[in-house]
Amino acid sequence: GAGVSQSPRYKVAKRGQDVALRCDPISGHVSLFWYQQALGQGPEFLTYFQNEAQLDKSGLPSDRFFAERPEGSVSTLKIQRTQQEDSAVYLCASSWDRLAGADEQYFGPGTRLTVT
């Protein structure tokens, strides 16, 4: 497809389990972003990649959160030892090239994570 895709769309994890969330950006988009969104709130920045380089990870809430984009395309957000406060929608977005001035982002549908 032409848009950003994310999988799974829904994930239920027991507290303490590890989860991996996948993002397939728009083909050719250099920049990729991960956000966390609580119910009824705006997206909160987690991390940002330019190709395979993670240029900003200042929004990751703890060292349990890890993101990678090894080949500069697909990205995975991993959360280790999940806690209830990790329950949220995780959004992925891509843009043509942030460093070249393209601030417009194209979002995937999100993964709703529920930690029980």
Partner 1 sequence: TQLLEQSPQFLSIQEGENLTVYCNSSSVFSSLQWYRQEPGEGPVLLVTVVTGGEVKKLKRLTFQFGDARKDSSLHITAAQPGDTGLYLCAGGVRDRDDKIIFGKGTRLHILP
Binding site for partner 1 (CB under 8 A): 4, 33, 35, 40-45, 56, 91, 93, 98, 101, 103-110
CB-CB contact of 47 with 55 (8 Å): no
Least distance in angstroms from the C-beta of 65 to partner 1? 18
Q: What is the nearest approach in angstroms of partner 1 to the Cβ of residue 78?
A: 20
Cα torsion 5, 87, 68, 42: sign: positive
Residue type, 74: V
Q: Are 52 and 71 in contact (CB under 8 A)?
A: yes
Q: Which is nearer to partner 1, 40 or 70 (CB)?
A: 40
Closer residue to partner 1 in complex, CB, 43/69? 43
Rounded CA-CA distance 58/101 in Å is 21
Minimum Å gap between C-beta 105 and partner 1 is 7
